[in-house]
A and B are shown apart, each in its own frame.
Chain A
Amino acid sequence: MKPKPELKIVVSNAPPRPPAPDAPPQQVEMPFAVVNGEPFSTLPRDLYIPPQALEVFLEAFEGPLDLLLYLIRRQNLNILDIPLAEITRQYMQYIELMQDLQLELAGEYLVMAATLAELKSRMLLPRPRLDEDGEQDPRAELVRRLQEYERFKRAAAGIDALPRLERDVWPTSAELKERQLLRTLPHIALQEMLVAFKDVVVRAQMFAHHHIQRERLSVGERMSEILAALGERAGFVPFQQLFRPAEGRMGVTITFAAILELMREGLIDIVQAQAYAPLHVRAANPGRMLRVVTDNTEAAAPADEDLS
């Protein structure tokens, strides 16, 4: 933060007197400290200020406008007619102080220093066409900014004075901490689900892929195989032995279809010793009516009719 020589040169050139002869008489500074009843309006040169303390002091300023406003208000100066040279000198003292202490100085402070220096130099120049309306006080823009900033400084204080939730007022509540939201799930009948599923199936069918494959297992072939197997054994064969589970679902289904077909054609008999007992299959005698043999006569009777 050291390289700022050109700003310091401006300061050294600053005449410590009012900028213009028509400026109002210098107002008395408000003392910022009173020591043993003696007011102090400037820092004694030999006063040691711990850097931390100064840092705190400077952090109280919200930027260059705030610092400038502080300098103006502290001395009860008229903001519309700022003694620019004097204010610039004081402002630069603070900036130098900050730089001497190697404090991190926000760039905005330096921009303002440059602005002040520029304004001051312009005030020193003779002004052309003083009587014309077009002529503008070089300070006007700075004054406008200071006033605008001051208004919002007050506005901020106004907002801070509003009753703030959880600082000044608190919402009341009868706490219902134990409350639990029990979401009851809607009751769905199985039927509704089936209906919904049917719709899905119908839609799925629209996209059905037809994969035509040569039938590797034929019912007719399987019928001959079964008859051959039964002929070899010439007796009852347990129903389950006719199946070869290794063939998988399709294979056993084909076998089952073949058995049903053989029954329909009266070529085999299916026998059950008693209810729930294992089924047995044998080749039917040629010419004999197909029937299901069972001990359960009530069940057997309608079966006979159905199959005959």
Chain B
Amino acid sequence: MSESYVRNVIEAALLAAGTPLPVAELTRLFEDSARPSSQQVRAALAALAAEYSGRGIELKETASGFRIQVRRELAAEISRLWPERAPRYSRALLEPLALIAYRQPITRADVEAVRGVNIDGVLQTLMERGLVKIAGRAEIPGRPLLYETTQFFLDHFGLRSLDELPNVEELRARHLPVAPPAPAAVAGPGSSTPATTGGVEAEPEPPTPD
């Protein structure tokens, strides 16, 4: 079993399959007697990736496995192959998607609290496109549905895992409310509903001269 043989089988399989293939599945393609180890398959994949450097295609690993794809730099030219352009994702779609991606699992109410608008229809669209799915129910009153992104989401945006999302550290953290500098004070963790803006009303008010 030569290295080039393993590499050729893997290359051919990735082209023929039309879907990303994980290492385990690539290993399974070989006869028992000639089965490479997963390290050997990975080495062959690395060799393929090196072979493709400087070419129009590249090897990409996403959540579902490896795929050979057209290089992004050629997007302008290649997109002319098809009469219609890929649909633009509106901000109305992307912002809830971002919230679900970074804060999953998350309830609809929590997404709406950050965006300040209703996302009923958008959520439906995201689910229809297979980018988002239901992740169960939150164990809070009302047991609202929780949402999370799908494996298709990762494949679609060329990610191996959610950790590869841009600025993941910063955006995953739930920031404590930031107080304005003037009266130096750290605001308590307030609810995110618009009506509540602290317990000022509860404070005893000094008599105000008319």
Contact = CB atoms under 8 A, between A and B. Distances in A.
B71 interface: yes
A72 B178 CA distance: 17
Nearest to A63: B117
Interface string A85-124: 0000000000000000000001010011001001100100
Contacts of A64: 116-117
A119 B118 CA distance: 23
B181 A163 contact: no
Given A142-B197, A155-B166, A149 B115 contact: yes
Interface of A: 22, 62-66, 80-81, 106, 108, 111-112, 115, 118-119, 122, 125-130, 133-145, 147-149, 151-176
Contacts of A151: 170-171, 175
Interface of B: 12, 15-20, 57, 60, 67-72, 75, 78-79, 85-86, 89, 91-92, 94-95, 97-99, 101-102, 114-118, 155-159, 165-167, 170-171, 175, 177-183, 185-188, 190, 192, 194-198, 200, 203-206, 208
B194 A111 contact: yes
B87 to A, nearest CB: 8
A126 B208 CA distance: 8
Given A136-B198, A138-B198, A145-B116, A130 B183 contact: yes
B155 A152 contact: no
A244 B25 CA distance: 71
Given A111-B194, A138-B200, A149-B116, 17 more contacts: A63-B116, A63-B117, A66-B116, A80-B180, A136-B179, A140-B197, A141-B187, A148-B114, A151-B171, A152-B115, A159-B157, A163-B157, A164-B86, A166-B86, A167-B79, A167-B85, A167-B86
Contacts of B102: 152, 155
Given A81-B180, A128-B204, A141-B197, A159 B187 contact: no
21 contacts: A63-B115, A108-B116, A115-B194, A125-B208, A128-B205, A138-B198, A144-B187, A149-B114, A151-B171, A152-B95, A153-B95, A155-B98, A155-B167, A156-B91, A156-B94, A161-B166, A162-B157, A165-B157, A170-B69, A171-B18, A171-B19
A268 B57 CA distance: 96
Contacts of B60: 169
A-B pairs with lowest CB-CB distance, top 7: A63-B117, A144-B177, A167-B86, A156-B94, A158-B166, A155-B98, A65-B116
Nearest to B68: A172
A140 B85 CA distance: 43
Contact of B187 (A136, A171, A173): A136
A172 B86 contact: no
B94 A159 contact: yes
Given A128-B203, A162-B166, A141 B177 contact: yes
B156 to A, nearest CB: 5
Given A108-B117, A151-B171, A159-B101, A141 B198 contact: yes
Contacts of B89: 160, 164
B198 A140 contact: yes
A84 to B, nearest CB: 11
Given A126-B208, A128-B203, A149-B114, A173 B197 contact: no
A174 B190 contact: no
Contact of B94 (A160, A169, A171): A160
